[in-house]
Amino acid sequence: MIVLGLSGALGHDPSAALLVDGETVAAAEEERFVRDKHARNRMPLEAARYCLEDAGVSPARIDAVAFPYAPISIFSPARWHYAWRHWYAPDRALDAIFNGNRRYRRNRARVTALGGELGIDWSRTDFAPVEHHLAHASSAYHLSGFEAAAVLGVDGKGEYATTFFGVGEKGAINRIHEFYDPDSLSGVYGALTEYLGFEMLDGEYKLMGMAPYGDPSRFDFAPLVGCTDGDVRVDARLVNTVGFRRYRDKGRGRYFGPGLVERLGPPRRDEAADEPYIHHAAAMQQAYEDACLELIERYLGDVLADTGRLVFAGGGALNVKLNKLILDRDDVDELFVQPAAGDAGTALGAATYVANRSGDPVRPMTHVYLGPAYSSRECREALASYPGLSARELDNVPACAADILAAGHPLAWFQGRMEFGPRALGARSILGCPSVPGIAARINAEIKYRERWRPFCPSLTDAVAADILGTDHPAPFMTIAFDVTESWRSRIPEVVHVDGTARAQVVTRSANPRYYALLGRLGALTGAPVVLNTSLNRRGEPIACTPTDALDVFVGSDLGYLVMEDLLITKEATQGA
């Protein structure tokens, strides 16, 4: 069976994924092709075209189009809960009761039109809507390879649901409990993200990076979340607000209310402002962790006692600090966090759900190299448009790259198929040697132009992972933070956060042979087969997709070296350095 998954119902992070007989053969986010981060209010036209062309599948052969947004019955508690909790906005409350599937109908029309542009024959291709949180759940459970596991989904919201607790067993996913909008843990986290001056649905990881610098005891944000006795009742006067309850700034309504500003002071505007905002970040992270752990115990404790396994997806699953605490639980032996856990991953989740429902055994996810690849010839052709750059063919790419890194230089690394999801995992990366003092600050200041307190992450070989991270738990996707062992903190200081943790990627030879060889060569030179790894882009841009994208980053920053497939690209000023 051929299933094309398409996401984009919620107005951000549209993507496409293609499954053939249960195997994920291609997946990509629209933002990478249109060069518009998060590709807001778009549908995944270019991403879908890529998936079909890469797999050699004509639109006429597609059996089903899976879409992670579905109609919700009037008999569901979801619509009634939404109406009750939004009593102060009667237009929204009444709309939920009497016209609650309006957005679904609009989205179905958009998908139908998109299918027409792709050449899909709707007379023989099924349109298969999947509830948003079931798509998140499927993306984690069906790709984990676990036969039985607790299933957790924490997200802003889908149709109405915000948080999902379930159990996966023998291919089936059964709901245990859900919470509904506005009672959203991720929504509160997003509201505080916006209060701290970052963009909601983009800057949550910035709040997470800021949190270790603050003191969570300075503020108590537990009442905002309202998690008590297994229930969540967000204080909708202060956060997750709509209509007249919203704080307005220069004519724009925010996701928090004036009451929050009265309690905490003015929202953060100056990027250099730390006090008291680092404490707000710390308190929010603490409240989020406490609520999630309490709810896991309440709704999934029995399942974990039986299985020892938990799978996790939704935007809230990208919180690596929470994931560390989940893995630290005595009843969690294995944790699988779907690497494209945000809404981009729901294209894959909807497709896996439909494929499984149709009888195709879904193959576990072992890597995320599912995007476009380019040959050395194509890279050289792109270089023709960039005067002042030169290229030479390399006989041993990993050795040359390792020599540059060991000499203290940052390096752009463009190899193979692009990653699916928000993390660069050795295909579209900027690398540095983590034992070189100041390399992280240099990459921040001269290349990435990021906030100074955001951490960089390590990629390391499986041969040293247990020694560095204190565990042999799989970590292929950079979705979990680990405590770096004392003996290694001083050896790789540039990738250890202020709290002693690192969001690590453990690389295996089978998943990425060339990247693994680079790490091995660097280990031979420095004693540590570890690199600082960050995404190949500049602040506010999507990760590079094409050779042209990589070259734009290269010429638009102080990078001196770019390895694209078998080519070493340098600037005239760098030659001989």
pLDDT tens sequence across 506-521 = 999 999 999 999 999 9
Residue 572 pLDDT exceeds 90: no
State residue 450's pLDDT score: 77
What is the tens place of the pLDDT at every residue in 285-320? 999 999 999 999 999 999 999 999 999 999 999 999
What is the tens place of the pLDDT at every residue in 143-181? 999 999 999 999 999 999 999 999 999 999 999 999 999
Q: 398 — phi, psi (to 5°)?
A: -60, -40
CATH superfamily of 2-76+87-143+341-357: ATPase, nucleotide binding domain (3.30.420.40)
Query: Is 185-335 assigned to CATH 3.40.50.20?
Result: no
Mean pLDDT for 108-132 is: 97
What is the tens place of the pLDDT at every residue in 422-437? 999 999 999 999 999 9
Residue 213 amino acid letter: Y
Q: How far apart are CA 280 and CA 312, in angstroms?
A: 26
Half-sphere exposure of 278 toward its Cβ, with a 13 Å CA cutoff? Answer: 14
pLDDT band at 270 (very low <50, low <70, confident <90, very high): confident
CATH class of 376-571: alpha beta
Contact between 147 and 163 under an 8 Å Cβ cutoff? The reply is no
What is the overall mean pLDDT for the chain? 96
What is the tens place of the pLDDT at every residue in 102-119? 999 999 999 999 999 999
Beta-carbon count within 10 A of 39 CB: 26
State residue 151's pLDDT score: 98
* CB within 8 Å of 283: residues ≥ 6 apart: 214, 216, 217, 218, 219, 220, 221
Beta-carbon count within 10 A of 121 CB: 12
Helices within 314-367 (DSSP H only): 320-328, 346-357
Helices within 125-257 (DSSP H only): 132-144, 185-195, 204-210, 222-225
3-state SS class at 313: strand
Torsion from C-alpha of 98, 100, 101, 102, nearest 10 degrees: 80
Extents of the domains making up the chain: 2-76+87-143+341-357, 185-335, 376-571
Is the backbone of residue 500 left (phi > 0), alpha (psi -120 to 50) or beta? left
Q: How far apart are CA 243 and CA 91, in angstroms?
A: 10
Domain pair 2-76+87-143+341-357 / 185-335, same fold: yes
Residue 20 β-bridge partners: 2, 23
Mean pLDDT for 6-29 is: 97
State residue 573's pLDDT score: 63
Pairing of strands 428-432, 567-571: unpaired
12 is catalytic: yes
Nearest to 469 by CA among 482, 460, 481: 482
pLDDT band at 498 (very low <50, low <70, confident <90, very high): very high
Q: Which stretch of 14-28, 190-204, 450-464, 476-490 has the lowest confidence by average pLDDT?
A: 450-464
- Residue 320 CA to chain centroid, in angstroms? 10
Residue 23 β-bridge partners: 20
State residue 574's pLDDT score: 59
- Residue 186 CA to chain centroid, in angstroms? 14
Q: How far apart are CA 299 and CA 308, in angstroms?
A: 14
- pTM attached to this predicted model: 0.97
Contact between 253 and 247 under an 8 Å Cβ cutoff? The reply is yes
Count the helix, strand and coil residues of the chain and give each as a percent rounded to the nearest 5: 40, 20, 40
Mean pLDDT for 8-24 is: 97
Residue 264 pLDDT exceeds 90: yes
State residue 575's pLDDT score: 57
State residue 273's pLDDT score: 85
Q: How far apart are CA 259 and CA 111, in angstroms?
A: 40
Pick the catalytic residue from 12, 133, 279, 280: 12
Q: Which residue's entry shows tokens 């724009």?
A: 252
What is the tens place of the pLDDT at every residue in 384-419? 999 999 999 999 999 999 999 999 999 999 999 999
